[in-house]
Chain A
Amino acid sequence: METLLAIVIGVLYAAGLYLMMRRSIVKLVLGLGLIGHAANLLIFVTGRVQRGSSAVIPPDQTVLVAPFPDPVPQALILTAIVIGFGTQAFALVLLKRAYQAVKTDDMDAMNTTDR
């Protein structure tokens, strides 16, 4: 399972970076989203993927029974997903406004501030 997730995460990072290097601003925002997903999944894997058990103490026990997945990374992802949602919503609106102002979705045409 870890191997599969590792491959998925790698593909997500690569696809995100590839999309960001295209000239279209729509692909840029999609790329940002994919990289965010890759980072979230990466944290998920660091909590050790564990099927069929959770970090809840059973009724007849006083301590956790191993093996159990670490709950902290899942709390981290939850925070990161919410933050990512906010920033990506902002990025989408910004790109729409930029598209309306510049009248193109080509990154190479948006270079007036670099000169």
Chain B
Amino acid sequence: MNLVVFLPLFVPFFTGIIGLLLWGKPQAQRVVSLLGGIGLTLVGANLLLTVIQQGIQVTYIGDWVAPFGITLVADLLSAIMVFVAGMMTLSTVIYAIVTLDAPRERNGFHVLLHFMLFGVIGAFLTGDIFNLFVWYEVMLISSFVLLVMGGERAQLEGGIKYVTLNLIASALFLSAVGILYGVVGTLNMAHLAILVPQVEQQGLITTLAILFLFAFGIKSALFPVFFWLPASYHTPPIAVTVIFSALLTKVGIYSLIRVFTLIFTTDTAFTHTVLLIIAALTMILGVLGAVAQFEMRRLLSFHIISQIGYLLMGLALFTPLSLAATVFFLVHVIFAKSALFLVGGIIHHMTGTYDLKKLGGFYRVSPVLSVLFFIPAMSLAGIPPLSGFWAKYALVRAGLENNQPWIVAAALGVSILTMFSMTKIWAEAFLKEADDGKLRENVPALQSIPAALRLPMLAPIIVLAVLMVVMGVAAEPFFALSLQTAEQLLSRTEYVQAVLGVQL
């Protein structure tokens, strides 16, 4: 058994179990949770370094050799996602320790967080499509509880929509896996990559591809099935929203990238055109929803949808450059979105509201907070020299090289609207003073937060902001890694060779 691949699964599981044993001792749970977050980041970094140096890592659970047993596979994409997931867990744990209310913490927030991560990491690492379904359910059942924990009316109402849509998606995913097994006769993804092109009824494979697209589309909030996201993501406390926005829809996108680069590549003229159209509609409708909002969390929730459109655009164009852009964008958007939600959380902590109409004056009172908002906001809009610029530049270039000017036009237009809604937050919450032209009174400064809480609240945002600047200023090594990831995804031979030991 290859421990390097197995440890990222084991750490959150073990942390969750220890957390359960320490039930009713929130202090001890905090320590365990923090150690778990640090541990996951470290084993994630270890996995990424190993995969970069030694190529794809594979381990067979119970030594049942593929395709008969369950395989864990860590290629570059999986390893990058596992590492980023570890970093986001650590950020969330630190932020939750200082901001989360005592009842939620006592009722097992930390335990559920790590069990959810267990599912997320499992989904990133599995090499078996039915096993992917199981990891999805591990992730979902924990996220259900995290979402409605606290039992406020809005949470329960949002929870019903989230739970219902996700259960429908799971049922469709399960049906699709069943039919795929009936047609092809294997569940191992590398084996599927070999056998799917040999199937005689290619029409059935295309139908299955669309069924998978629909199931994963619900989970990653694509047009036209994204309505559960803005109805539910703004209801829980910000620590929960941050980890949801950072990882859950991204697991959906990860799965789409996996199945549409590894398995369903026989009829790209049809499937990837469908993906491209959906990508355009997702980004446009997401940003239009955001422009209309005045509640910060809801505004940012709609932006999650719009950014998912960009990620899908890179997959749909299906060239090395566009897939590299998607990988780069994936990491960038996880950082940017989380930082923005965290800043929103700090503003709520100080003022008790997310309503942009009631906020104002933070630029004068808290320049530090303003900078920490400005960097991720501009990065999300795609302003150089921040990370978002390179992600969008590569996508636009890939679109032009592929002779798809309309998707480039859509992407650039959506960028302008993203800029518009980010400047709206900037103008309303940071620049705006009182209506009668006088300076706004009673704007709380960062100093109003006790010093012991201030640093842990700001630390994750500072780290994320620095990373965004570094990814922008020194984009070369990050983009080279993304390009390598994209080539690995597109060629598929390395993946199949690593899992099955045969040539594609």
Report whether B151 and A97 are in contact in the complex, using a CB–CB cutoff of 8 Å. Answer: yes
Report whether A113 and B148 are in contact in the complex, using a CB–CB cutoff of 8 Å. Answer: no
B158 interface hit (Cβ, 8 Å): yes
Report whether A83 and B232 are in contact in the complex, using a CB–CB cutoff of 8 Å. Answer: no
B145 CB contacts on chain A under 8 angstroms = 90
Known: A39-B178, A76-B181, A87-B141. A95 touches B160 (CB 8 A): yes
A45 CB contacts on chain B under 8 angstroms = 182
A24 interface hit (Cβ, 8 Å): no
A55 CB contacts on chain B under 8 angstroms = none
Report whether B156 and A102 are in contact in the complex, using a CB–CB cutoff of 8 Å. Answer: yes
B157 interface hit (Cβ, 8 Å): yes
B490 interface hit (Cβ, 8 Å): no
Interface size class of B (residues with CB under 8 A): 35 or more
A80 CB contacts on chain B under 8 angstroms = 133, 174
Alpha-carbon distance A45/B182, docked complex (angstroms)? 8
A-contact 0/1 string along B125-165, CB 8 Å cutoff: 00000100110010011001100100111101111110110
Could you tell me the distance in whole angstroms from the C-beta of A114 to the nearest C-beta in chain B?
Answer: 5
A28 CB contacts on chain B under 8 angstroms = 160, 164
B168 CB contacts on chain A under 8 angstroms = 20, 32, 35
A86 CB contacts on chain B under 8 angstroms = 137, 141
B231 interface hit (Cβ, 8 Å): yes
Chain B, Cβ-Cβ closest to A45: B182
A46 interface hit (Cβ, 8 Å): yes
B-contact 0/1 string along A61-95, CB 8 Å cutoff: 00000000000110010011001001100110011
Could you tell me the distance in whole angstroms from the C-beta of B330 to the nearest C-beta in chain A?
Answer: 28
Known: A39-B171, A76-B130, A87-B167. A102 touches B178 (CB 8 A): no
Partner pick for A76 among B178, B231, B234, CB 8 A cutoff: B178
Known: A43-B181, A90-B141. A112 touches B157 (CB 8 A): yes
Alpha-carbon distance A47/B179, docked complex (angstroms)? 10
A-contact 0/1 string along B198-234, CB 8 Å cutoff: 0000000000000000000000000000000011101
Alpha-carbon distance A97/B160, docked complex (angstroms)? 10
Would you list the 7 A-B pairs with minimal beta carbon distance, nearest first? Answer: A46-B182, A43-B178, A98-B156, A39-B174, A35-B171, A110-B157, A39-B175
Chain A residues within CB distance 8 Å of chain B:
20, 25, 28, 32, 35-36, 38-40, 42-43, 45-47, 72-73, 76, 79-80, 83, 86-87, 90-91, 94-95, 97-98, 101-102, 107, 110-114
